[in-house]
């Protein structure tokens, strides 16, 4: 089809997610390779968003494409009830790379379904019904996952699934606990969580579900000791610990799973995105031996037609092999100090940057109008004219050939894990230049 026909058909027939449909003018993308994609005018963008923070391996990796083609030529699909070599191998490889004590994998089609099944497993395993999640969180858009989500995207779906209870997680830059140090933030956040458990009734709580590193809601890296403290609370009260690694897993944080950074073992891990970089839809739940044994003689009441799809599982196997053969995780670890140092210099040069935080290739700049008061560049959940400063900044990035990931008053630096140091520096230079637009909205500019 012509590019004009693509645009016309999109406007006429495609109903887009998270969008008011009138006035949409979606950008047609015609090709992508490595860390760049190209639109219908021939303009190429360096992708600092990894689409939705999922293209960890980059675009069109030839080995990953070949694995899908080979599987399609051999067996395109088979029901979940059958054994299949691609599915079996993918499950084994994921368990082998997961923290010690994890035993089995339940495959889904994406991250939201993974979280739905994780909480179902937790409820059945414990016989309890409540699930605790943080206010600054996103766990998916299906009925249960959106109820567990802490950010405003859940509002339109309320009232939702019963049993979802929220608490405040650590966020030193904007502490809900009036902490004056990172250590104090950790201590007070854990004390708050204990209080919530107490007043909700420990015997009613099946699980605490956390993004190991909070993703869309700020790239909030947990203080050292926080995840261990959550694990201790769960053990004390017989609560399961579910780590949502949909965004933070598979190399994004310089580990197979971000929890490895702190040596903490959850009872359940939900994953998707980076497991195969979205080349074919895939997600899943990794469960501990204890949770898996609950269903040894009791049927698990869940599953979908396409769970563990052979094409998806074959791509996951290939992706993990590529990560190891090409040293992708070590590469991410080597990039981390490069990114951190450069972002530090960018922050020093721009009054609109309030804070830099992150790890691996998972970073955020928090943009402000005033560094002293920490007033955000745009209000919480801003829309329309109130969101104009961030819209102007995002447009400046795109004009320069950099595709940003922006949310509320933050821009996230989340390129593919395979980005070269040279491309990383190029992107950071473009970001540095575009921040001059954000600086124009600073109070004393």
CATH of the domain at 257: 3.40.640.10
Residues 302 and 373 in one domain: no
pLDDT given at position 15: 96
- Beta-carbon count within 10 A of 267 CB: 27
pLDDT given at position 186: 98
Q: Which of 338, 367, 333 is nearest to 350 (CA)?
A: 367
Q: What is the Cα–Cα distance from 211 to 259, expressed in whole angstroms? A: 10
Residues 94 and 191 in one domain: yes
Residues 337 and 393 in one domain: yes
DSSP 153: G
Which pLDDT tens digit goes with each residue over 80-99? 999 999 999 999 999 999 99
Is 364 a member of any domain?
A: yes
Backbone torsions φ then ψ of 150, nearest 5 degrees: -95, -20
Residues 237 and 371 in one domain: no
Q: Which of 208, 216, 196 is nearest to 137 (CA)?
A: 216
What pLDDT band is residue 132 in, cutting at 50, 70 and 90? very high
Which pLDDT tens digit goes with each residue over 396-408? 999 999 999 999 9
Q: What is the Cα–Cα distance from 146 to 110, expressed in whole angstroms? A: 14
Is 444 a member of any domain?
A: no
Residues 160 and 265 in one domain: yes
Q: What is the Cα–Cα distance from 50 to 71, expressed in whole angstroms? A: 25
What pLDDT band is residue 444 in, cutting at 50, 70 and 90? confident
SS3 assignment, position 436: helix
Q: What is the mean pLDDT of residues 222-235?
A: 98
Is 389 a member of any domain?
A: yes
Please, are residues 424 and 340 in contact by the beta-carbon 8 Å criterion?
no
Which pLDDT tens digit goes with each residue over 365-403? 999 999 999 999 999 999 999 999 999 999 999 999 999
Q: What is the Cα–Cα distance from 22 to 26, expressed in whole angstroms? A: 11
- Beta-carbon count within 10 A of 162 CB: 8
Is 445 a member of any domain?
A: no
Q: Give yes or no for residue 164 having a pLDDT over 80.
A: yes
How many separate domains does the chain show?
A: 2
The proportion of the chain whose per-residue pLDDT surpasses 90, expressed as a percent, equals 97
**Whole-number Cα distances in Å, 317 to 94, 115, 172, 278, 312:** 9, 22, 38, 13, 9
Residues 318 and 210 in one domain: yes
Q: What is the mean pLDDT of residues 28-56?
A: 97
Residues 286 and 363 in one domain: no
pLDDT given at position 123: 98
Is 33 a member of any domain?
A: yes
What pLDDT band is residue 334 in, cutting at 50, 70 and 90? very high
Q: Which of 118, 440, 62, 93 is nearest to 269 (CA)?
A: 118
- Characterize 435-445 residue by residue with b for buried, 16 or more Cβ atoms within 10 angstroms of its Cβ, and e for exposed: bebbbebbeee
Is 335 a member of any domain?
A: yes
pLDDT given at position 124: 98
In the predicted model, what is the mean pLDDT of the chain?
97
Domain boundary among 325, 353, 370: 325
Residues 48 and 154 in one domain: no
Domain boundary among 292, 325, 358: 325
Residues 257 and 389 in one domain: no
Q: What is the mean pLDDT of residues 40-63?
A: 97
SS3 assignment, position 47: strand
CATH code: domain of residue 386? 3.90.1150.10
What pLDDT band is residue 29 in, cutting at 50, 70 and 90? very high
Element containing residue 58 per DSSP (H, E): none
pLDDT given at position 23: 82
Which pLDDT tens digit goes with each residue over 248-287? 999 999 999 999 999 999 999 999 999 999 999 999 999 9
Q: What is the mean pLDDT of residues 324-343?
A: 98
Q: Give yes or no for residue 1 having a pLDDT over 80.
A: no
What pLDDT band is residue 4 in, cutting at 50, 70 and 90? confident
Please, are residues 131 and 163 in contact by the beta-carbon 8 Å criterion?
yes
Positions of E strands within 34-96 = 36-39, 44-47
Structure tokens at 146: 């959106």
Q: Give yes or no for residue 443 having a pLDDT over 90.
A: no
Domain boundary among 325, 358, 378: 325
Domain that holds residue 168: 63-325
Residues 295 and 198 in one domain: yes
Residues 312 and 376 in one domain: no
Query: Could you tell me if residue 154 is left (phi over 0), alpha (psi between -120 and 50 degrees) or otherwise beta?
Result: alpha
**Residue 239: CB partners within 8 Å, gap ≥ 6?**
126, 197, 202, 205, 206, 207, 208, 233
Is 340 a member of any domain?
A: yes
Structure tokens at 289: 């031996």
Is 45 a member of any domain?
A: yes
Which ranges in 263-387 belong to alpha helices (H)? 289-293, 310-325, 328-349
Please measure the distance between the N-terminal and C-terminal CA atoms of the chain and give it in whole angstroms.
48
Distance of CA 92 to the CA centre of its chain: 23
pLDDT given at position 3: 75
Residues 331 and 314 in one domain: no
Please, are residues 32 and 59 in contact by the beta-carbon 8 Å criterion?
yes
Structure tokens at 274: 């980076």
């Amino acid at each position: 089809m012509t590019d004009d026909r693509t645009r016309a058909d999109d406007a006429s027939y495609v109903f887009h997610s998270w969008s008011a449909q009138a006035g949409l003018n979606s950008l047609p993308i015609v090709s992508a390779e490595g860390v760049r994609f190209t639109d219908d005018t021939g303009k190429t963008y360096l992708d600092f968003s990894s689409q939705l923070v999922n293209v960890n391996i980059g675009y069109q990796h030839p080995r990953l494409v070949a694995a899908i083609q080979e599987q399609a030529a051999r067996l395109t699909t088979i029901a979940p009830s059958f054994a299949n070599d691609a599915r079996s191998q993918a499950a084994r490889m994921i368990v082998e790379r997961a923290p010690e004590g994890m035993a089995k994998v339940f495959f889904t089609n994406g991250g939201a379904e993974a979280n739905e099944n994780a909480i179902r497993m937790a409820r059945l395993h414990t016989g309890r019904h409540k699930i605790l999640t943080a206010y600054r969180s996103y766990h998916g858009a299906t009925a249960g996952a959106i109820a567990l989500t802490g950010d405003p995207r859940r509002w339109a779906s309320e009232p939702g699934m019963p049993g979802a209870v929220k608490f405040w997680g650590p966020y030193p830059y904007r502490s809900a606990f009036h902490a004056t140090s990172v250590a104090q933030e950790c201590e007070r956040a854990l004390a708050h969580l204990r209080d919530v458990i107490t007043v909700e009734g420990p015997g009613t709580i099946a699980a605490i579900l956390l993004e190991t590193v909070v993703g869309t809601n700020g790239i909030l890296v947990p203080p050292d000791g926080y995840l261990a403290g959550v694990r201790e609370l769960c053990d004390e009260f017989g609560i399961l610990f579910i780590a949502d690694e949909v965004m933070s897993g598979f190399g994004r944080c310089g580990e197979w799973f971000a929890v490895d950074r702190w040596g903490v073992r959850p009872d359940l891990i939900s994953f998707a995105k980076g497991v195969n970089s979205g080349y074919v839809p895939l997600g899943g739940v990794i469960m501990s031996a204890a949770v898996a044994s609950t269903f040894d003689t009791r049927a698990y009441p869940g599953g979908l037609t396409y769970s563990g799809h052979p094409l998806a599982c074959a791509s996951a196997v290939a992706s993990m092999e590529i990560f190891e053969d090409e040293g992708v995780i070590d590469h991410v670890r080597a990039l981390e100090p490069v990114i951190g140092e450069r972002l530090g210099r960018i922050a020093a040069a721009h009054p609109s940057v309030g804070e830099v935080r992150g790890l691996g290739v998972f970073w955020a700049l928090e943009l402000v109008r005033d560094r002293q008061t920490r007033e955000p560049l745009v209000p919480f959940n801003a829309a329309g004219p109130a969101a104009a400063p961030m819209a102007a900044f995002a447009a400046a990035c795109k004009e320069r050939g950099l595709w940003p990931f922006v949310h509320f008053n933050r821009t996230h630096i989340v390129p593919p894990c395979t980005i070269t140091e040279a491309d990383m520096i190029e992107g950071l230079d473009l970001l540095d230049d575009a921040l001059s637009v954000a600086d124009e909205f600073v109070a004393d500019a």
